[in-house]
Amino acid sequence: MHATSLQNIMNPELRIQQLTRELNDHNYRYYILDQPSISDYDFDMLLSELIALEKQYPQYMLPDSPTQRVGGDITKNFTQVEHRYPMLSLGNTYSQEEIVDFDQRIRKLTTEPFSYVCELKYDGVAIGITYKNGLLTQAVTRGDGVKGDDVTSNVKTIKSIPLRLQGDFPDDFEIRGEIILPHKEFENLNRLREEDEDEPFANPRNAASGSLKMQDPKEVAKRNLDCFLYFLMGENLPSDYHYERLQKAKSWGLKTGNFFAKCENLEQVFDFINYWDTARRELPFDIDGIVIKVDQIHLWDSLGFTAKSPRWAIAYKFKAEQAATELLSVSFQVGRTGAITPVANLKPVLLAGTVVKRASLHNADIIEKMDIRLHDTVLVEKGGEIIPKIVGVDLEKRPENAAVFEYISTCPECGTPLVRKDGEANHYCPNEDRCPPQTKGKLEHFISRKAMNIDSLGEGKIEMLFDKKLVRNASDLYLLTYEQLLGLEREIVSEDGKVKKISFREKTVENILKGLENSKKIGFEKVLYALGIRFVGETVAKKLAFHYRSIEELLKASLEDLVNVDEIGIKIAESVIAYFQRPEHLEIIENLRKSGLQFEITEDSQSLLSNKLEGKTFVVSGTFSRSRDEIKKLVELHGGKNVSGLSKTTSFLLAGEKMGPEKKKKAEQLNIPLLDEATFFAMIEK
């Protein structure tokens, strides 16, 4: 008998238990031991089997089900919970002398011999995770140290955090650690954000913190956060040594990292610090120092605490690496969104292993505050951020020829006077449709993979078409002819100074035209995304396209209508309205439409399950027998629409369990009928 048919006849409850155990075991091998024993494909097959079974038999889903790793329901606002043990921080030191002081303070308080454990100081977000009877029951952020946010569903998506422990774990304990975002994931995330015109995160710590606070665990799951655990708390914990407790935690399947060490004396502590001060550059994640803890836990009580931190532990913070060099000139870059960035051109200098020639000068206010002048000796620092920044000026070294430089008031690319929005530090060039880097950026976005996906046109070709004035905006692309393109030439100067000519031959031209022709079949939701409306990323474009179903309907929408669409906030709504208010944008849309691009949803109308809910709008609130996302999907699949807030035009309030009393009251005031889950299903199943 085949394995699949065997599974089918198996008792679903047993099969769910078996799959849960097996998948958790694979996760442990993959994420903790780094020794996978099954292919990704096979893993995914088992996981989809479990997802399907749990959907059919939700009553059998286990608390440590690995399906929670992909994220469940959206949590609106986190619940605040009190920490069982306050979440303290550590005293910081920046020099080895201060560590000697720390050691002497301890020696004054105890005559017993003791040793230290040195650990990495992970640069992330602190978390306290509770395990009861081996199951992860709660995860809480630091908050103010007394109370924090319950982010359990988000933390459960982190694959290196076990949902169930193994071995001889205590019944009830908390383990503290740091949630981090590895460099590779940070770079991926920022690349995607830039594509979507979202502000990139300044450093992995901010990205980890932002990710952990997201309301939708499915989105958190995509971020690939990681976590290192470093501190056990509870009543009946094994061992009286911190080092041994960490080893124990490791044996229960918890990820403690491999980089902690027992140090018998200060010399060994300093060796550990010095080693990691350099070796940290090779780590795939950020650390900002070393934590030194007394190993003998029975001494912790007698050493006690100061107001904020324990006396038995201290953090040594690495100094951000700095170098001094001359500021040669300042240039101003215009980004795809029009934001101006002042950039310092420096005399090349070695910093943290790389040669630095350019550094960020932040913005006009900071330049003025630091009083930076040309030819000054400036201090460059490479901290958690990827781009080095100028952090100061050595005034004593100011040369005679140091010169004040003016911050620009017009765009260096198009001459338009710059604007500065209230409360924003950056200057912007408002000429979004004619300023070359902005229009080029818009074209690049238009052809990009997630938008119109015209891969026969790349950045270089777009630049050439733009520079040759053949294309000013997206609609011009569709007017290009074979004759215009054939033989177009451009010189490229490579890094070694060689000049190379590229020219469009028959094949290239044919491919470009074919790519453009094919893109006419791309769905409305992608066309809408491709227009490059600020804050309208892929997901928002999809929402708007499927909600309004055509550009005509979207154009008619008022600010209020837009805000009422599920998941559309005021910032997006304002941006959409502003975009459609510009006649030049309407002209582009009209021309694109004339060229045959899709401006309405067509094909999916056939894939609707029914049109029983056509013309009806729903607010879905509370909890249901399946996830709220699934319920919303059903509304859409039967031709209905989801909106976020109740208004006169809402047809129904679909009320699940635990719905807030306020919603109910408002629905009654507005005379909106309440539907329960059973009635809803009866409506669509009839």
Residues at the interface with ligand IVH (CB under 6 A): 88-90, 119-122, 126, 178, 230-231, 291, 310, 313, 315
Report the C-alpha gap between 205 and 124 in whole angstroms.
5
Contact 666, 646 (CB under 8 A): yes
Report the C-alpha gap between 155 and 141 in whole angstroms.
10
Q: Which of 55, 121, 382, 389 is catalytic?
A: 121
Contact 570, 563 (CB under 8 A): yes
Identity of the residue, 231 or 252, whose beta carbon is nearer to ligand IVH in the bound complex: 231
Identity of the residue, 164 or 245, whose beta carbon is nearer to ligand IVH in the bound complex: 245
CB neighbour burial string for 2-20, b if at least 16 within 10 angstroms, e if fewer: eeeeeeeeeeeeebbeebb
Instruction: Choose among 357, 304, 267, 259: nearest CA to 108.
Output: 304
Report the C-alpha gap between 349 and 368 in whole angstroms.
24
Q: Which two tokens stand for residue 504?
A: 């469009």
Minimum CB separation of residue 77 from ligand IVH in Å reads 23
594 in active site = no
Identity of the residue, 298 or 397, whose beta carbon is nearer to ligand IVH in the bound complex: 298
**375: region left, alpha or beta (phi > 0 left; psi from -120 to 50 alpha):** left
- At residue 667, the 3 state secondary structure works out as helix
Minimum CB separation of residue 167 from ligand IVH in Å reads 22
**371: region left, alpha or beta (phi > 0 left; psi from -120 to 50 alpha):** left
- Taking the CA of residue 163 as centre, how many other CA atoms within 13 Å lie in the half-sphere pointing to its CB? 24
Identity of the residue, 88 or 674, whose beta carbon is nearer to ligand IVH in the bound complex: 88
Provide the strand spans (E) within 361-449: 377-382, 389-393
Report the C-alpha gap between 330 and 265 in whole angstroms.
49
Report the C-alpha gap between 472 and 465 in whole angstroms.
9
Report the C-alpha gap between 89 and 307 in whole angstroms.
10
Instruction: Choose among 323, 312, 360: nearest CA to 339.
Output: 360
Minimum CB separation of residue 236 from ligand IVH in Å reads 20
Could you tell me which residues are beta bridge partners of residue 130? 138, 174
Contact 650, 616 (CB under 8 A): no
Minimum CB separation of residue 222 from ligand IVH in Å reads 24
CB atoms within 10 A of CB 389: 17
* 283: exposed, middle or buried (Cβ count in 10 Å: 0-12, 13-18, 19+): middle
- At residue 515, the 3 state secondary structure works out as helix
- At residue 582, the 3 state secondary structure works out as coil
Minimum CB separation of residue 92 from ligand IVH in Å reads 7
Identity of the residue, 53 or 291, whose beta carbon is nearer to ligand IVH in the bound complex: 291
- At residue 12, the 3 state secondary structure works out as helix
DSSP annotation string for 134-196: TEEEEEEE-TTSSEEEB-HHHHTT-TTS-SB--SS--SEEEEEEEEE--HHHHHHHHHHHHHT
Contact 338, 432 (CB under 8 A): yes
Instruction: Choose among 387, 383, 393: nearest CA to 319.
Output: 383
Identity of the residue, 294 or 454, whose beta carbon is nearer to ligand IVH in the bound complex: 294
Q: Which CA distances in Å does 564 have to 53, 223, 334, 572, 643?
A: 35, 28, 34, 12, 6
Contact 387, 203 (CB under 8 A): no
Q: Which two tokens stand for residue 359?
A: 């550094």
Instruction: Choose among 228, 216, 238, 253: nearest CA to 127.
Output: 228
CA of residue 190 relative to chain centroid, distance: 7
Minimum CB separation of residue 258 from ligand IVH in Å reads 13
- Total number of residues shown for the chain: 686
Q: Which two tokens stand for residue 226?
A: 């990681």
> What is the C-alpha radius of gyration for the chain, rounded to an integer number of angstroms?
30
Q: Which two tokens stand for residue 383?
A: 């901290």
CB atoms within 10 A of CB 215: 14
Residue nearest ligand IVH (C-beta atom): 126
Instruction: Tell me which residues are annotated as active site.
Output: 121
